[in-house]
């Protein structure tokens, strides 16, 4: 008896659910087919997570909307293969516009077409352009087609005619996405935004895809985005590195060629990895050179000969000598016994560090000057910025100079009772340390003495300042952290068995490195005060100098064993060694993005230039060279 409702037999119910089931099945089949010809099909299951963040993965994500829209635009009511007229069809009828062909539901024609499509794909594997083939390495279904569903075992009960009919539309949609050039059909702005997601190496590979890809991949807008993403993150913090700050990242300028800058940075990084550099010695000082600092334009050194000398880092000529009157007025400061200039640069011509393997090149006759305020003994330490230069001496005093006024002395700082061994300053304070086992704090602007810190039981050999924290090391085997406002010790770091000669507090305030007579280098976490690692037997003698480059993640050391070494900050692994480049003890070694410059007991300055010969290397400078050779600060451009 009928109740007005329609009851379907079990077989009918199964048929009514066949469309969804077969779509599921077809999606799995298509997904696997696309993987077979994908250039990424060799990715192992264990590598799947890494592939999700690959450049090609980012390209797919950026363009997936295109395929989603096409897959979801199929209307199975009007465009699909379920038209009742198809029962009488004996041959396929081509679809109009973007519609799929209409396939007869009898005779197994759809199955044969499906097989032919599969065979065509397999035969065309070698012809597929890998740059235009994007695959989904996810195990969660073909998200590119927007039709992925869980596979249901009930689909195995479908009849052949149902499989043929229900799979045809899905095959038509999927095949339209195979080998599609998604860049050519897009507006320039969107195409550039997509290609900007890949890394520089991949981007250079895209030049060979087609003329259109070549044009988009050469866009300065694309290369600007890639350069800023890859090159402007600090090793330690991942924070942006300031542009135009002398760190190998130029300021934004209209004429910047970002692709050329990227290539220069890539080659420079490679040279640091292999140790490929050009070396020079600068001659001029008459005795041991205790201290050095440099930037993109100049080098400033201090020596046992009581002088400060300023050198042009590009021409390698000495431009100014500052010292006591009896020193700077002595003829020997300018000419040697053979009446040749004392100041000259020597370039390495052979493969060794022997004196006869260097060729005398740039000679110079610097200006000399003496001021009433000067040091009468060795200059042991110095630091400068764009406004002041501060030097410390064996005469137990420091002198502050006006950089912008010909290095004219401003004032003398006198409180220590023994040699000033090291100093540091920021915008507010000047901090000095001494053989008298104390640390003194001064007001930078007024030169007023503020406080004296005591706590070490031996000479304080090195001091650094970051924010409100002072880091010092001593011959008493310890490193101490101080609060500059209160003068109290924050923490004492102990892991050395002999006296310390040097320490470094990284510019990002994250790391402290210390070394000394036990030939170890310890690296500490400045925030937790925990020892991160120890480099055992870092050198064969006392470690005299340390420098942390927190931008690149490099640690540079110099030793009494006459060697200079470079370590990876992350694990303390030795990456480069320059043995015996100094004839005697290495007393100071500093580095930046391009160079290592060191000084020693022998009166020579060593320059190791990893950027020499790299095309466009000068475009990484923060300063803009004028045509007449002068330098203009970026702010003036």
Closest CA to 146 of 121, 163, 170: 170
The answer, as to whether pTM is greater than 0.75, is: no
- What confidence tier does 119 reach under pLDDT thresholds 50, 70, 90? low
Asked which of 251, 273, 295 is the last residue of a domain, the reply is 273
Residue 111: partners with Cβ closer than 8 Å, 6 or more residues away: 160, 163, 164
- 128 and 71 share one domain: yes
- What confidence tier does 182 reach under pLDDT thresholds 50, 70, 90? confident
Q: Which residues pair with 519 in a beta bridge?
A: none
| Average pLDDT score, the chain | 78
**Average pLDDT value for residue range 188-196:** 87
Q: CB of 516 within 8 A of CB of 543? A: yes
**Average pLDDT value for residue range 128-145:** 37
The helix/strand/coil state of 558 is strand
Least confident of 149-158, 184-193, 357-366, 572-581: 149-158
* pLDDT score at 62: 52
Please count the structural domains in the chain.
2
- 135 and 91 share one domain: yes
* pLDDT score at 241: 61
Q: Which residues pair with 26 in a beta bridge?
A: none
Residue 260 burial by CB count (10 A; 0-12/13-18/19+): exposed, middle or buried? Answer: middle
**Average pLDDT value for residue range 359-363:** 92
**How far is it, in rounded angstroms, from Cα 392 to Cα 398?**
4
> Residue 110 falls within a domain, yes or no?
yes
- 21 and 164 share one domain: yes
> Residue 38 falls within a domain, yes or no?
yes
* pLDDT score at 14: 43
> Residue 113 falls within a domain, yes or no?
yes
Q: CB of 595 within 8 A of CB of 609? A: yes
DSSP type of residue 349: -
Phi, psi angle pair for 556, to nearest 5°: -110, 135
Least confident of 130-139, 275-284, 490-499: 130-139
Residue 503 has pLDDT above 50, yes or no: yes
**How far is it, in rounded angstroms, from Cα 389 to Cα 310?**
12
Residue 148 has pLDDT above 60, yes or no: no
Who has greater pLDDT, 455 or 145? Answer: 455
DSSP type of residue 525: E
**How far is it, in rounded angstroms, from Cα 371 to Cα 57?**
65
Least confident of 249-258, 268-277, 292-301: 249-258
- 153 and 201 share one domain: no
Q: How many CB atoms lie within 10 A of CB 540?
A: 12
Q: How many CB atoms lie within 10 A of CB 412?
A: 14
Closest CA to 81 of 55, 50, 106, 51: 106
Q: Which residues pair with 591 in a beta bridge?
A: 596
> How many Å from the N-terminal Cα to the C-terminal Cα in the chain?
95
- 120 and 222 share one domain: no
> Residue 191 falls within a domain, yes or no?
no
The helix/strand/coil state of 367 is strand
- 109 and 253 share one domain: no
Residue 123 has pLDDT above 70, yes or no: no
Phi, psi angle pair for 333, to nearest 5°: -75, -15
Asked which of 140, 175, 210 is the last residue of a domain, the reply is 175
∠ CA 545-550-552, rounded to 5°: 105
Who has greater pLDDT, 7 or 185? Answer: 185
- 234 and 155 share one domain: no
Residue 545 has pLDDT above 50, yes or no: yes
- What confidence tier does 184 reach under pLDDT thresholds 50, 70, 90? confident
Strand spans (E) along 145-209: none
Asked which of 112, 140, 175 is the last residue of a domain, the reply is 175
Least confident of 157-161, 246-250, 563-567, 619-623: 157-161
Sheet containing 343-348: order of strands: 358-364, 343-348, 278-283, 604-609, 595-600, 586-591
The helix/strand/coil state of 263 is helix
**Percent of the chain with pLDDT strictly greater than 70:** 66
∠ CA 158-159-161, rounded to 5°: 125
- 113 and 35 share one domain: yes
Q: State the angle between helix axes of 188-195 and 55-72 in degrees (0 to 180), rounded to the nearest 10.
A: 140
> Residue 494 falls within a domain, yes or no?
no
* pLDDT score at 240: 62
**Average pLDDT value for residue range 108-134:** 47
* pLDDT score at 233: 66
- 16 and 163 share one domain: yes
**Average pLDDT value for residue range 357-383:** 95
Q: How many CB atoms lie within 10 A of CB 495?
A: 14
> Residue 151 falls within a domain, yes or no?
yes
Helix (H) or strand (E) segment spanning residue 111: helix 109-123
Which sign does the torsion angle of CA 560, 565, 570, 573 carry? Answer: negative
* pLDDT score at 92: 57
**Average pLDDT value for residue range 603-610:** 97
Closest CA to 581 of 606, 557, 603: 606
* pLDDT score at 513: 98
Chain centroid offset of residue 37 CA: 35
**DSSP assignment of 563-618:** -EEEEETTTTEEEEEETT-SSS-EEEEEE-SSEEEEEESSSEEEEEESSTT-TTGG
**Average pLDDT value for residue range 571-592:** 96
- What confidence tier does 36 reach under pLDDT thresholds 50, 70, 90? very low
- 166 and 18 share one domain: yes
Q: CB of 330 within 8 A of CB of 307? A: no
**How far is it, in rounded angstroms, from Cα 216 to Cα 235?**
30
* pLDDT score at 570: 87
Who has greater pLDDT, 475 or 165? Answer: 475
> Residue 531 falls within a domain, yes or no?
no
* pLDDT score at 336: 93
- 96 and 214 share one domain: no
> Residue 74 falls within a domain, yes or no?
yes
- 52 and 200 share one domain: no
* pLDDT score at 285: 98
Least confident of 125-134, 392-401, 455-464: 125-134
**How far is it, in rounded angstroms, from Cα 116 to Cα 27?**
18
Q: pLDDT tens, 77-108?
A: 444 333 444 444 555 566 666 566 665 555 55
Residue 409 has pLDDT above 70, yes or no: yes
Residue 43 has pLDDT above 80, yes or no: no
* pLDDT score at 120: 53
Residue 129 is part of which domain span? 10-175
* pLDDT score at 133: 35
């Amino acid at each position: 008896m009928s109740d007005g409702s329609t009851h379907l037999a079990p077989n009918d119910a199964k048929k009514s659910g066949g469309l969804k089931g077969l779509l599921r099945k077809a999606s799995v089949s298509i997904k696997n087919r696309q993987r077979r010809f994908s250039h990424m099909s060799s990715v192992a299951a264990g590598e799947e997570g890494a592939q999700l963040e690959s450049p090609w993965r980012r390209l797919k994500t950026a363009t997936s909307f295109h395929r989603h829209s096409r897959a979801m635009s199929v209307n199975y009511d009007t465009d699909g293969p379920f038209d009742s007229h198809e029962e009488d069809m004996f041959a396929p009828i081509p679809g109009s516009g973007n519609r799929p062909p209409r396939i007869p539901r009898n005779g197994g024609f759809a199955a044969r077409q499906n097989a032919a499509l599969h065979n065509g794909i397999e035969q065309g594997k070698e012809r597929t352009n890998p740059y235009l083939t994007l695959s989904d390495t996810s195990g969660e279904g073909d998200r590119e087609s927007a039709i992925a569903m869980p596979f249901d075992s009930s689909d195995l009960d479908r009849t052949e005619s149902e499989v043929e009919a229900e799979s045809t539309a899905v095959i038509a949609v999927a095949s339209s996405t195979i080998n599609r050039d998604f860049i050519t059909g897009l507006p320039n702005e969107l195409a550039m935004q997509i290609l900007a997601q890949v890394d520089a190496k991949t981007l250079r590979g895209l030049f060979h895809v087609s003329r259109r890809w070549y044009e988009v991949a050469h866009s300065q807008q694309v290369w600007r985005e890639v350069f800023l993403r890859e090159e402007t993150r600090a090793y330690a913090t991942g924070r942006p590195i300031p542009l135009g700050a002398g760190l190998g990242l130029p300021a934004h300028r209209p004429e910047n060629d970002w692709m050329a800058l990227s290539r220069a940075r890539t080659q420079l990084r490679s040279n640091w990895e292999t140790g490929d550099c050009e070396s020079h010695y600068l001659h001029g000082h008459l005795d041991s050179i205790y201290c050095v600092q440099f930037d993109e334009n100049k080098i400033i050194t201090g020596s046992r000969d009581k002088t400060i000398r300023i050198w042009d880092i590009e021409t390698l000529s000495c431009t100014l000598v500052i010292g006591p009157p009896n020193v700077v007025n002595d003829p020997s400061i300018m000419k040697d016994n053979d009446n040749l200039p004392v100041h000259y640069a020597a370039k390495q011509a052979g493969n060794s560090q022997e004196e006869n393997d260097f060729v005398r090149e740039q000679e110079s006759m610097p200006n000399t000057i003496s001021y009433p305020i000067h040091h009468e003994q060795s200059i042991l330490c110095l630091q400068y910025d764009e406004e002041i230069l501060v030097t410390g001496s064996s005469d137990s005093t420091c002198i502050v100079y006006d950089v912008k006024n010909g290095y004219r002395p401003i004032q003398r700082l006198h409180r220590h009772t023994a040699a000033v061994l090291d100093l540091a300053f920021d915008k507010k304070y000047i901090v000095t340390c001494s053989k008298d086992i104390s640390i003194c704090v001064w007001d930078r602007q007024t030169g007023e003495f503020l406080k004296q810190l005591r706590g070490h039981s031996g000479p304080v050999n090195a001091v650094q300042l970051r924010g409100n924290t002072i880091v010092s090391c001593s011959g008493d085997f310890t490193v101490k952290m101080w609060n500059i406002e209160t003068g109290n010790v924050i923490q004492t770091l102990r892991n050395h068995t002999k006296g310390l000669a040097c320490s470094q507090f990284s510019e990002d305030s994250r790391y402290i490195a210390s070394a000394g007579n036990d030939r170890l280098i310890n690296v500490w976490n400045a925030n937790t005060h925990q020892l991160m690692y120890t480099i055992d037997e870092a050198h064969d003698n006392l470690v005299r100098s340390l420098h942390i480059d927190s931008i690149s993640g490099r640690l540079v050391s110099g030793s009494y064993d006459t060697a200079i070494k470079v370590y990876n900050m992350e694990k303390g692994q030795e990456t480069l060694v320059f043995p015996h480049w100094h004839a005697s003890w290495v007393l100071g070694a500093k580095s930046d993005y391009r160079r290592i410059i060191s000084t020693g007991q022998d009166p020579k300055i060593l320059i190791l230039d990893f950027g020499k010969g790299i095309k466009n290397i000068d475009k990484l400078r923060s300063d803009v060279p004028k045509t007449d050779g002068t330098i203009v600060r970026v702010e003036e451009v």
